């Protein structure tokens, strides 16, 4: 899995909106806080709106805001919908499996499966609210960026 600027910047925008869920933010405000150029940000916000994470209103009192509660938006879902599968290799992808000619004898496949499962576990358990509270945990109890 590789998170592109599209995924990173979209998450930054969602975090800004989640900090003040009752406020409508102008593109310029989000751009200034996320350091994402406004023209690119507009495209990302349009996609986040299509994916039903945010809503928008036109006009002087318009802007963008979260459509869902921050505790209901999970990072794993956002990344999958924006970037695609979390698996590092197609041969271990749950949603986009791609067979490999070495699959029956490949000693790397179990490793890639563990990587996929570990990444999915962390991202699927982490909501926008968790990020705002700086409360990221795994089953093993690692917390607040202590995952190594």
pLDDT at 144 > cutoff 70:
no
Task: Report the share of the chain in percent with pLDDT over 90.
Answer: 60
pLDDT at 143 > cutoff 70:
no
Give the angle subtended at the CA of 108 by the CAs of 85 and 91, to the nearest 5°: 35
pLDDT of residue 123: 93
Reported pTM: 0.85
Tokens of 104: 């029956």
pLDDT of residue 90: 82
pLDDT digits (tens, 9 = 90+) for 51-76: 999 999 998 889 999 999 999 999 99
Euclidean distance between CA atoms 82 and 134, whole angstroms: 23
Task: Report the share of the chain in percent with pLDDT over 70.
Answer: 92
**pLDDT mean across residues, the chain:** 89
* Band of pLDDT at residue 1, cut at 50, 70 and 90: low
pLDDT of residue 147: 39
**Long-range pairs for 34-42: beta carbons < 8 A, 24 or more residues apart:** 34/9, 36/9, 36/12, 40/9, 41/9, 41/13
Domains, the chain, ordered by start: 5-66 (1.10.10.10)
């Amino acid at each position: 899995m590789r998170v592109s600027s599209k995924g990173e910047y979209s998450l930054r925008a969602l975090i800004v909106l989640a900090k003040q869920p009752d406020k409508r933010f102008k593109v310029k405000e989000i751009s200034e806080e996320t350091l994402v150029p406004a023209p690119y940000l507009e495209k990302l916000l349009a996609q986040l709106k299509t994916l039903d994470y945010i809503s928008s209103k036109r006009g002087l009192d318009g802007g963008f805001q979260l459509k869902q509660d921050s505790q209901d938006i999970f990072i794993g879902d956002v990344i999958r919908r924006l970037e695609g599968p979390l698996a590092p290799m197609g041969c271990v992808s749950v949603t986009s499996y791609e067979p490999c000619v070495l699959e029956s004898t490949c000693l790397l496949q179990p490793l890639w499966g563990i990587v996929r499962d570990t990444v999915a576990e962390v991202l699927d358990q982490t909501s926008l609210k968790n990020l705002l509270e700086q409360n990221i945990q795994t089953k093993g109890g690692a917390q607040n960026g202590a995952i190594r």
